[in-house]
Structure 1
C-alpha cells in the first residue's frame, strides 16, 4: 500500500485537484490506521521531547536562553517546574516543531 501511495504521490495525486486525490487519501488513511494499530507511538511528555531535542542538537542546559537561566532549565528537566506557553512558543520556533509536541 505504501508503494501505491508513493506512486500516486509521484504523479501528483496529493493535490486536491488531481483526479486520483480521493484514492490517494483513502490509501493514506488506511496506512495511518494500520501504523497506529501495529506500531503505536509512546506517549511522551513535553519534558521528554525537550530532552530528546537537546540530545539531538547536543545542547547543554545553559544553551537554552528561550527558557531562561540554567537553573530554570534544570528545574524544568527535573519536573519541579513546567514549561510555560512562552517557553513552548520559543522552543517550537527554535527547533522547527509544532508546539503540540510539548503538550
Structure 2
C-alpha cells in the first residue's frame, strides 16, 4: 500500500449495497459501492458512517452540478457564506418549481 503512514496502518474496504425504489415508476434498483477507510475493520456502524456521508453529499452534489459551487473562488470563510446561502435558496426554488411542474402535467 502506498503512503501507509498516512493511513495509520489501517486500510479497510467497505462494500455497501443499496436498494432504491423510484417513487414515480416503482422501479427498484440495486447498487454496490466500495469505500476505502482508515478505520479498523472491527469499527462498529461502518454502514452508518457511509449513510451519513451520503446525507451530506446528496445535498452538495446538486449544488455543485447545477450551480458549479466548487468552482467559485472564495477569499475567506466569511465571504463564502453569502454566495452559499444564495445558492441554497436558488436550488430550493428550482426544486420546488420542478415538483410543481410535474404535478401540473
TM score, norm. by length of structure 2: 0.23
Structure (1/2) with the larger strand percentage: 2
TM-score, normalised relative to structure 1: 0.23
